[in-house]
Amino acid sequence: MNITVLNGPNLNLLGQREPEIYGSTTLDDIQTRMNGYIKDGSVVLEFMQSNKEYELVEVIQSLMGKKNQFIIINPAAFTHTSVAIRDALQATQIPFIEVHLSNIYAREDFRKKSYFSDIAIGTISGLGANGYLLALNHLLTLRDRCITLG
């Protein structure tokens, strides 16, 4: 199983930027926690953060046609603006979970609209860095269910 964890703009500043909203956990901390969650080596996690929309689109497109591929994505500000990333996710048809550190539905009105929620397996919002682990856990549960049922 291969899981690509994509992070959008300004998430490289986690731990420094508005800790009252986003917490003190850094993106490196999240990556370390996620890697530590994988015990048996059966999952390959790849991480990428970019402030550039086109780079995220290119990574998503590069995954097209790969087997056992899933995405966990925190599109950050692109959540509310990026038809390009949405189109790339739809074109590849790779199952994905949308993650947000803050509760986007309890913030400014413009943050309440997501271009991804309606095409995602699920959305995790407002649970801080734990949202990434919850998304990972869900994908592992899906994998185990497919192995058991398959």
By annotation, the residues acting in catalysis are 22, 100
Residue burial 17-51, b: 16+ Cβ < 10 Å; e: rest: eeeeebbebbbeebbeebeeeeeeeebebebebbb
Longest dimension (CA), the chain: 45
How many Å apart are CA 91 and CA 93, to the nearest integer?
Answer: 6
How many Cβ atoms sit within 10 Å of the Cβ of residue 118?
9
CA-nearest of 99, 95, 116 to 3 is: 95
How many Å apart are CA 52 and CA 65, to the nearest integer?
Answer: 24
Strand ranges for 63-119 from DSSP E: 69-74, 96-100
